[in-house]
Amino acid sequence: MPLPIILGIGAAIAEKFAQYDASVAMWDMNEKGLQEMERKLAGYRVKAKGYKVNITDYDEVQELGQQVIKDFGKVDILINCAGGGRDIALSLRELDHDKWSKLVDLNLTSAFNCTKAVIENMIDNNYGKIVNFSSVAGLRGGGLLGKAGYAAAKAGIVGFSKAIAKECAQYGIYCNTIAPALHVTPLIQANLNTGQIEAVKDNFLLKKAGDPEKLAELVAFLASDDASYITASLYTVDGGYSYH
């Protein structure tokens, strides 16, 4: 049972899993967006339910995790793909403690919160697939858009994922990381105009942005039995941006 977190790339992942006949629980602050996704996924004849939640609130997430397990019976797959924040482009000198904390909470602590909410259920079932989203910014000390706070949080995702893979392999739990660059989603289109998107794309070897649907295929692969010998791995999906 996949558990995509946050709409955008998460929406593409949720639909991809529904295409593969998986039940889907979606967590997001955007209640209207969740309702729209529920209606969309209803066409696939799978169980799909949206839950409004602040994934940076530990207690709220733990409570909701138990509700999801009650509603769906168990959690087989967890996808932590929260990311962004209004201050991702601020440099170290521009950040204050409050803005730093919010970036870390959304881009790193949220993954801890959501993983804690389901990990005991996975251990009890001796099975689990976890895919966490980092960013090329976390590998390069910042990217074309994300700077100090965002880069630090997304770098933390890489270490967190490897630790989960190491600590939980004995329980049949796998954990891998995806580090994407620009993928054109409604959120990106709402924040960048066409000229800005083209300028970003020019920095990639392939001179194009990523396709969320193809990214979702990679997530589905890592969550499948075809990836039964892959854990603690990092996949960069960035059009060659981090080649050096």
- Which residue among the candidates 20, 58, 127, 150 is catalytic per the annotation? 150
Instruction: Say if CB 45 and CB 34 are below 8 A apart.
Output: no
Distances (CA, A) of 5 to 17, 53, 115, 124: 13, 10, 11, 22
d(CA 184, CA 198): 11
Q: What are phi and psi of 83, to 5 degrees?
A: -175, 165
Rg for the chain (alpha carbons), in Å?
17
User: Is residue 150 flagged as an active site residue?
Assistant: yes
Instruction: Say if CB 119 and CB 147 are below 8 A apart.
Output: no
Instruction: Say if CB 155 and CB 139 are below 8 A apart.
Output: yes
- Dig out the tokens for 233 from the structure: 């791995």
Q: Which residue has the tokens 């996975």?
A: 122
d(CA 85, CA 1): 27
Instruction: Say if CB 238 and CB 218 are below 8 A apart.
Output: no
Residue positions counted in the chain: 244
Instruction: Say if CB 205 and CB 240 are below 8 A apart.
Output: yes
- List residues with catalytic annotation: 150
